[in-house]
Chain A
């Protein structure tokens, strides 16, 4: 009987000691909590970070930024930012006068199934002027910044990668990181510049090229694309003629219909600028409608929201609209100022009238 009682007391004692030492670090959602430990009424002199820290990754790195609080008698640490996939977190709790506790936790998992692809590259045409200025790459979903230089290639006809084709520097994305603008190095395009003379323009007349976008380019989740993308094209002659609206053909729709207003250009125009630099107005103001392009950006189509009323309209064209070589209305991309003495560059619009009957 005495041994039994003694055993009970011993078990209780061991149980109490064990309970007293069952401090653990828990992760609930994005919050770290110290369970099994009662924090003092206020933080120690050295602050809560002297007791509890969490570090991301390995090595001698600073602890994670975040905030501490005592909630319902439990010390918690909330990182300033959500835990990241693929990162290992090391949480360390040092109770005063007790043994240090460490716990290693993994960040959230991410679905690693590739979904991203290149939807389209503009210009659509496969003959690019020797002084092509830029291209737009449209992805099917948001991508990761900082990967463009290593994942876009131009190959010559033998499949050899060419260097120095694109302008290095900041990546030009739209706010959704879904459309990338790449600029062909203008230093190699402008007449008379050293590299134009020595290396020639990036795209040579009559030569064949392939634009390759690697599958390894990561989307915004960090997952590569479904497939790589290739576009073959041929170099054409350089284009230094400013677009001339007098050469545009306007086909007016019929009154009472919502048929498209069609404008045909003698050359392909810049896809992005076609979306916003041509508008339609009548005497009362701007007409609301939807813009589309066709024929490799040689055609602009405008479908109004409401049926066309008969009368006088005008196409309002921003003179900053560009062709593929960056020439805009009134001025080529580079210009011999002496021959073409323009005291200043005017920006503004020109009107092209048309009637709907």
Chain B
């Protein structure tokens, strides 16, 4: 067990429970449903819901689409993925060169263990939005977006900001999505105002349903507070109670009780770790091994970490910037899993990683 100097730094640090305010009055989700062509201006984040429903976050279009993939059949035998040079293979499938393909997110269908990639074909504003399926046999195919059953919810109805009629330059980049207990939780980052957004949208999407307003704060002596955006989060159970574990730009790890996430509620979150700055937490995968609980975390520049999460309830809130010895969540570094751009849960003993240079899509044993 190794305590990182970073965690000591945590004590000195902390943006404590970032305050996140969802302005429901300005941005009320509105739902529409149809069978036909899926309208996507971009495909950034992906998440799976129940029964093969794939959620696609469209940051440019400011909406979320729920697509009925029909991909619900369990694999015949133990599944695994190993596609070397996946960027070149995806590019070839789409008739272009690897440098013209951006893989935006990777997720695993828990029912079938097929892997889904959200891809931009092209790097400019006219980039085509493509969803690619990679199956256990290593075959890549384009997921059809025409004649499919889907529902759409709009995240933002912000008015045109520019009277000259040009397209609104303000976008809400969707940073993460997770389906949790009947709600799709969506984290976002604006390209204009510095504010955090964490929306809870009931699924199935309803007509003109308003998302839950979440307001999270923590007021304690000597603590700093800032509206940092959520970068990635996972549902997590602590002592039998459901929580959200959210890693923020900034970069604390905060636990938020799900039971408190009611419309308009003020919720106390507790910071239990900090992963250091100059770094973005990319993805987190909770798992159990040999009777203990862990969370595997992929980072933009701090490598892969294995947090020891057996007793998350026991870690006191990291509160004071002057505490020298910290009670933060300890972790090990996992140098064998490196250059990770995306990390996703695969099964009880494996995670799925997409690496860069070279771009390989493969299952790895959870360490």
Chain A residues close to B by CB (< 8 Å): 54-57, 59, 61-66, 79-84, 86-87, 89, 133-134, 142-147, 164, 167-170, 172-179, 181, 183, 185-188, 190-195, 197, 218-222, 270, 272-273, 275-276, 288-291, 320, 322, 326, 328, 333-338, 341, 343-345, 347
Contact = CB atoms under 8 A, between A and B. Distances in A.
A336 to B, nearest CB: 7
A55 B53 CA distance: 32
A347 B125 contact: no
Nearest to A167: B249
Contacts of A194: 6, 9-10, 12-13, 274, 276-277
Given A83-B95, A322-B193, 6 more contacts: A168-B280, A173-B191, A195-B276, A289-B163, A337-B219, A337-B223
A275 B191 CA distance: 14
B359 to A, nearest CB: 13
B194 A65 contact: no
B195 interface: yes
Contacts of B192: 181, 270, 272-273
B173 A170 contact: yes
Contacts of B122: 220
B88 interface: yes
Contacts of B276: 187, 194-195
30 contacts: A65-B141, A81-B94, A81-B128, A82-B95, A134-B194, A168-B279, A168-B301, A169-B280, A170-B44, A170-B173, A174-B191, A175-B60, A175-B167, A176-B125, A185-B277, A186-B226, A186-B277, A187-B251, A187-B276, A192-B12, A192-B13, A194-B276, A221-B124, A334-B15, A336-B223, A337-B220, A338-B223, A343-B217, A343-B266, A344-B19
A57 B280 CA distance: 34
Interface-central residue, A55, A290, A344, by most chain B CB under 10 Å: A344
Contacts of A188: 277-278
Contacts of B301: 168
Nearest to A193: B13
A220 B126 contact: yes
Nearest to B193: A320
B14 A322 contact: no
Given A192-B321, A322-B194, A345-B21, A145 B96 contact: no
B194 A133 contact: yes
A335 B19 CA distance: 11
B161 to A, nearest CB: 4
B88 A337 contact: no
A61 B277 contact: no
B225 interface: yes
B95 A64 contact: yes
A87 B97 contact: yes
B169 A179 contact: yes
Interface of B: 6, 9-10, 12-15, 19, 21, 23, 26, 41, 44, 60, 88-89, 91-98, 100, 102, 120-128, 139-142, 161-164, 167-171, 173, 175, 189, 191-195, 215, 217-228, 231, 249-251, 266, 274, 276-280, 300-301, 321
Contacts of B141: 65
Given A80-B94, A181-B191, A333-B194, A174 B124 contact: no
Interface-central residue, B123, B175, B195, by most chain A CB under 10 Å: B123
Nearest 8 CB-CB pairings of A with B: A187-B277, A220-B124, A194-B9, A61-B92, A276-B161, A144-B123, A174-B169, A172-B191
Given A142-B125, A185-B278, A337-B219, A64 B92 contact: yes
Contact of A333 (B14, B95, B226): B226
Given A56-B95, A62-B89, A168 B191 contact: no
Contacts of B278: 164, 168, 185, 187-188, 195
A322 B227 CA distance: 13
Contacts of B163: 288-291
A275 B161 contact: yes
Interface-central residue, A82, A89, A186, by most chain B CB under 10 Å: A186
Given A169-B231, A172-B189, A190 B226 contact: yes
Contacts of B279: 168
A201 B222 CA distance: 21
A87 B95 contact: yes
Nearest to B266: A344
A170 B175 contact: yes
B93 A65 contact: yes
Given A175-B167, A177-B125, A191 B277 contact: no
A302 to B, nearest CB: 11
Contacts of B167: 174-176
Nearest to B175: A170
A95 B224 CA distance: 72
A195 B277 contact: yes
A55 B125 CA distance: 26
B317 to A, nearest CB: 13
A89 B97 CA distance: 11
A344 B265 CA distance: 11
B280 A84 contact: no
A84 B96 contact: yes
B140 A146 contact: no
A144 B219 contact: no
A167 B248 CA distance: 12
